[in-house]
A and B are shown apart, each in its own frame.
Chain A
Amino acid sequence: MAATRGALVQVEVTVAARADRLEALHAALDRFWSRVDETLPEPPDNDWRLHFATAMAEIGANIVRHAHPEGALPGIMQLRLRAFRNRIEARFADGGVPFRGMPEATPAPPTVSTDDDALVLAEGGYGLRLVLAAVDKLDYERTAAGRNHWRLTKRF
């Protein structure tokens, strides 16, 4: 029953790990949704897709920003989108510098009641928190071959 275990839809794209190429990830996701609409009897709705797309883009931007910092060798990232009967997965692979473990996501900002409260807000670190809220599962692995693998899973 290999066919039922495999992905129903698969789209892959390889792009330079640069901020000006992140658009290509969205283009690949659009192609993927078209195939999903043709293939799955009950494709996810727009709100579901928006959450998935937002999480995917966040990981893509993280790979550009943290695995390929300015001054590092230019690199590429591969994105593989797969639809299964009960979930959608996005897997990123890149050869950039390793992610330094899974950091604690930045805590929720406090309710700002006075002008001074806003002055202590963090200006970054919200990405992981967003991803963990938008999808069901986030995995990171640094492979023995020295590659970063990120996998996002969102169930229907």
Chain B
Amino acid sequence: MRLVVDLGAVTFIDSSGFGALIGGLKAARQAGGDLRIARPTNQALVVLKLTSLDRVLRPFASVEEAVAGY
């Protein structure tokens, strides 16, 4: 199960939003897969950076780039 979550249309996200994505990441990895995020807005990048969650949810500039790495 390899997932890419496209955040391009998410205008605002808080830490609990990324907490939910961490839940998705864990579920995907338990199933032998992975979860990646693509196209985060500047606001989403602020949350990722300040929570240090960018260490585990590395943002990709496009869905295509995220998929290509799989």
Contacts and interface: CB of A to CB of B under 8 A. Distances in A.
Interface stretch (A6-14, A35-43, A88-96, A125-133): A125-133
Nearest to A60: B14
B26 A124 contact: no
Interface residues of A, number: 30
B22 A122 contact: yes
A122 B25 CA distance: 11
Given A57-B14, A121-B22, A108 B46 contact: no
B56 A124 contact: no
Interface string B1-43: 0000000000010111011101101100110101000000011
Contact of A123 (B22, B29, B42): B22
A130 B55 CA distance: 14
B15 A123 contact: no
B55 A50 contact: no
Interface stretch (A78-86, A112-120, A144-152): A112-120
B26 A118 contact: yes
Contact of B20 (A47, A54, A111, A123): A123
A109 interface: yes
B14 A127 contact: yes
B26 A121 contact: yes
B63 interface: no
Nearest to A55: B50
A25 B61 CA distance: 30
Contacts of B16: 61, 65, 124, 127
Contacts of A57: 12, 14
A112 B56 contact: yes
Contacts of B26: 118-119, 121, 123
Nearest to B54: A109
Interface of B: 12, 14-16, 18-20, 22-23, 25-26, 29-30, 32, 34, 42-43, 46-47, 50-53, 55-56
Interface of A: 26, 47, 50-51, 53-54, 57-58, 61, 65, 108-112, 115-116, 118-119, 121-127, 129-130, 133-134
